[in-house]
Copies of this chain bind each other. A is one copy, B any other.
Amino acid sequence: MESKKTSRLQGVLSPVVTPFDHQLRPDAPRLIRHCRWLVSQNVGLAVFGTNSEANSMSVAEKRELLDALVEGGTPPDRMMPGTGCCAIPDSVELTKAAVRLGCSGVLMLPPFYYKGVSDEGLFRNYAEIIERVGDDRLRIYLYHIPPVAAVPITLSLIERLLNTYPGIIAGIKDSSGDWNNTRAMLEQFQPHGFDVFAGSESFLLATQRAGGAGCITATGNVNPGAIAHLGRTWQEPDADAQQAKLDATRAIFAKFPMIPALKAAIAHYSSDPEWTVVRPPLVELTPAQREELARNLNAAGFAMSGLPRPA
């Protein structure tokens, strides 16, 4: 396949949390406002990630949100929607929609129902999707998140995909939490134009220093400016101090279930309680947890400046 030039995603992205109303319906206007704020903070938009509750939405709901985002002025060249589903027809439909809307890339989970599947089977899954989408603009970022998907993407699978579909296979998000694995990907594949994103800002500085592309991080939803700043200034003398400060903020969130905690923080700082809603099987924080989170964040001098308020 000939490869056309597209803008390359770099730096810090966030798996954008998805607002739901009290009837559990996706709330496009709130999502658009949140995305606009993230972009203003120099954070890219990995909508439909794990922290977006993407797998708690139907394909139709995700397509509607994607259309609404682009129609609402969200820049597709800053977007890397998650499009990997268990069923190939679903992955193809979402990926086609993302490519046609001009998204710079897609973040693609492996099919995650069956466990212990072979690299051959996972290769066939990605190959089938690539062939069916059949578009030179497609840029796939593989999504390695064994703690949740429980279906890992091995180094040998990456190598085979990269050899078979150079240009199309554009990189990876490594959410293994295992720096040895991230480092192996950085050494083995980053020199071949395969962009390695760490799965959280905990590894941002280390990833940048090893030549990686950046990170895609849940807490980018709430602390975007500071994380993106380190992404741009990692060669400055204060980089280690910046990293330590990011780690301290992340640690406050990490004491709670991450997705409900992110939403609780957004609800708190925007005075917008609708943001606390999550879809089952997730459960929102209890009032006591919300208070504890807010207290800890306030004590740390945390702020979310410019966060949009309800319309």
Residues of A within 8 A of B (CB): 24, 50, 55-61, 86-90, 93, 110-115, 117-118, 120-122, 124-125, 128, 147-151, 279-283
Contact = CB atoms under 8 A, between A and B. Distances in A.
Contacts of A113: 50, 55-56, 112, 148-149
Contact of A280 (B122, B147, B282): B122
Given A122-B280, A124-B280, A282-B121, A55 B115 contact: no
B128 A280 contact: yes
Given A111-B280, A148-B113, A282-B114, A55 B121 contact: no
Contacts of A115: 147-148, 150
A281 B86 CA distance: 9
A55 B89 CA distance: 11
Contacts of A283: 117-118, 120-121, 124
A129 to B, nearest CB: 9
B122 A281 contact: yes
Q: Interface centre among A60, A89, A147, A150, by most B CB within 10 Å?
A: A89
